[in-house]
Chains A and B, each alone.
Chain A
Amino acid sequence: MVKVLLKFSDKVTDQPITSQVIKEKGVTINILSAHVDQQGGEMLIEIPEDEAEGVIEAFRSKGVKVELRRLIEVNKEKCFDCGGCISLCPVNVITYDAEYSVVFDEEKCLGSTCALCIDACPVRAIELIT
């Protein structure tokens, strides 16, 4: 599965774009999280790997900005492994390893559509990549 972040501007929120793409391409899309209103917003989706190129193209042609990238940046210089962020993550991205170091499985992260951990870090070591 490929994870992509869709950015909707206020100009396209009145269109049923996601439904259109699903119907056109006949694919199943897994919506991990979504935060879209009339002013625009973001949606994080997962697409099957072999369909990814077509789906991304379809979203782009309808005026949606599509981004494939890491969603958070963890500053390991600042982090001192307190673990305060762990219980806030709804998708178990953050765990301890065997040495009680705090580790991030960034593949699973929901990024700016979640962001629950960001302001919980006492040394501000987690940043959203915008």
Chain B
Amino acid sequence: MPTSELRTIDEINEKIRKGEAVVVTAEEMIKIVESRGIKVAAKEIDVVTTGTLGAMCSSGAIINLGHSDPPIKINKAWINDVEVSHPGAAVDLYIGATQMSETKPFEYGGGHVIEDLIKGEEVELRATAYGTDCYPRTRLETLLTKNDLNQFYLLNFRNCYQRYECATNSRDEVIYTYMGKLLPHFGNATFSGAGELSPLTNDPNYETIGIGTRIFLGGSQGYVIGEGTQHNPRNQFGTIMVRGDGKKMSPEFIHGASFTNYGTTLYVGIGFPIPILNEGLAKKTSICDDDIFTEVVDYGVPRRDRPTLRKVSYKELKSGKIDINNKEVKVSSLSSLKGAKKIAKTLKSWIDDSKFFLTAPIERLPTDTVFKPMKLLSAMPFVESIIHPAMTCKEDEKVKSVAEKIIHHSINHVVVVNDEGKLKGIVTSWDITKAVAEGKKDLTDIITRRVFVTTPDEPVEVASRKLAQHNISALPVVNQEKKVVGIITAEDISKLFKR
């Protein structure tokens, strides 16, 4: 415990019981500290409330169905066509937020099932099993609401990031990510987290947060049950694992969501009450957006370690515009700032009304864990390991001469370059066949100008995805000056993976 302890959790709870606790939101705390100083604020304020309402993919719910007669030991199950897993015994199921519907993928998923259950709607359960002597049933179909379930607990293994990156995209195409839709050439940027209202940001050393901390979760009271997976305190990327009763939650603070071409997820509303046990906590809870920083990261680079472009404050992020490479870029929040404010205010009103009491954590969140990358057994192959020289031609060549090159070298792709060796287009054997059929003689009539390319340092896996996505069979390899240094084909890639 810090030396200058002002009050204990028990003393705060006694004040809450009498309706005398002084509770403010993290936003209000900033103003109080600004106008009256930390000492006065620490003396007068008992609790500061926080909030965030963001997309949290590592969310889900555990449900127990009760037993059918004859009983079934579920092997596979679906709710509203979303596969739900069976982590436990016969009739316990886990609804993962990112698991997608088999009939409406990318539009409906586990997150939506959880929202529908919370709303009180009826969901359709299908299950199959192999049948045992004690659980003979092999098929089951039924309709359920949350009231038919024995337990319906939201059980999220990573929520509530302390802060998160701001995402943007350097590529020349739109990309769809878990950070939303990112327009080409840094056309926009997105961020997540409520900044000065964010729960973990207001207690960055986890003095008051750990196993057993009672929190606002999805419109009801829930608990922190430990640090979240990938908890990364040294980098201020702390996370929490939470549990709360889904039957008591409100659809206002839980939203199933679909991120186009990425998948489904769940928006979860979370708020912490932070007891002002000492002056240090008064100072920490008065942190404002100007002093909370994160990094602008290029999601156009599909690697684990994406390039960081700059540091940015939440103040700048919330202004709606940030500067990237001297260009003004529109930026928007993916998490609801309105929702975050509402959560902090709701939690404050619960405490004011003596409906919510604070708990001291049994064990604080760790401050020294390390978030390691995945251990892999083989090195990742890069494009440079399968690159070979490209057959090139100039724009002013005749179709016939390019056709001869294709036949002579038994290839399918000729890369069109200018005098400096820079990429101007591509011609395939199919283009040549078509030109012959249509009587075209000039190469300029048949060149494909918009060419997808790769670079020597790109992972083969990424290049392979480009081929599949655009339904093409080769990629010219270019260096930083856009000069053609070779080519890779679908054939090269299949040979590599056959090794």
Chain A residues within 8 Å of B, Cβ to Cβ = 80-89, 95-96, 99-101, 116, 119-120, 122-124
Contacts and interface: CB of A to CB of B under 8 A. Distances in A.
Interface stretch (B73-81, B225-233, B327-335, B384-392): B327-335
A110 to B, nearest CB: 15
Given A99-B338, A116-B183, A119-B181, A84 B107 contact: no
A48 to B, nearest CB: 30
B53 interface: yes
A87 B189 contact: yes
A96 B107 CA distance: 26
A83 B107 contact: no
Residue among B176, B189, B320, B335 facing the most chain A CB atoms (10 A cut-off): B320
A84 B338 contact: no
Given A99-B338, A124-B107, A84 B258 contact: no
Contacts of B258: 122-124
B336 interface: yes
B382 interface: no
A80 B342 CA distance: 11
A120 B257 contact: no
A99 B340 CA distance: 11
Interface in B252-285: 252, 255-260, 265, 267
Nearest to A122: B257
A12 B252 CA distance: 49
17 contacts: A80-B252, A80-B267, A82-B333, A83-B336, A84-B181, A86-B333, A87-B189, A87-B320, A87-B331, A88-B330, A100-B336, A116-B181, A119-B181, A122-B255, A123-B256, A123-B258, A124-B258
B334 A84 contact: yes
Contacts of B265: 122
Interface residues of B, number: 32
Contact of A88 (B181, B256, B336): B181
Nearest to B55: A122
Given A87-B188, A87-B330, A120 B336 contact: no
Nearest to A117: B181
Contact of A87 (B55, B190, B335, B336): B190
A82 B183 contact: no
Closest 7 CB pairs of A and B: A122-B257, A87-B332, A86-B332, A87-B188, A100-B338, A87-B330, A120-B181
A100 B337 CA distance: 6
Interface of B: 53, 55, 107, 176, 180-181, 183, 188-190, 252, 255-260, 265, 267, 320, 329-339, 341
A101 to B, nearest CB: 6
A104 to B, nearest CB: 14
A88 to B, nearest CB: 6
Given A82-B333, A87-B331, A122 B267 contact: yes
Given A80-B267, A82-B267, A116-B181, 6 more contacts: A83-B332, A83-B333, A84-B180, A84-B190, A88-B332, A122-B257
B77 to A, nearest CB: 26
Contacts of B181: 84, 88, 116, 119-120
A128 B361 CA distance: 49
Contacts of A85: 332
A27 B332 CA distance: 39
A82 B188 contact: no
B339 A81 contact: yes
A99 B257 CA distance: 23
A87 B53 CA distance: 19
Contacts of A123: 255-258
Contacts of A86: 320, 330, 332-333
A80 B338 CA distance: 8
Nearest to A92: B330
Contacts of B333: 82-84, 86
Contacts of A82: 53, 267, 333-336, 339
A89 B321 CA distance: 13
Contact of B337 (A83, A89, A95, A116): A83
A101 B337 CA distance: 9
A89 B332 CA distance: 10
Contacts of B320: 86-87, 95-96
A80 B53 contact: yes
A64 B358 CA distance: 67
A99 B188 CA distance: 23
Nearest to B260: A119
Given A86-B330, A100-B341, A122-B267, A80 B259 contact: no
A120 B53 contact: no
A96 B329 CA distance: 17
A86 B322 CA distance: 14
B54 to A, nearest CB: 8
A101 B180 contact: no
B118 to A, nearest CB: 14
A86 B265 CA distance: 20
Residue among B55, B181, B183 facing the most chain A CB atoms (10 A cut-off): B181
A120 B107 contact: no
Contacts of A124: 107, 258
Contacts of A101: 338
A98 to B, nearest CB: 11
A92 B331 CA distance: 12
A122 B267 CA distance: 10
A83 to B, nearest CB: 5
A89 B330 CA distance: 9
Contacts of A119: 176, 181, 260
Given A120-B181, A122-B55, A122-B258, A80 B339 contact: yes
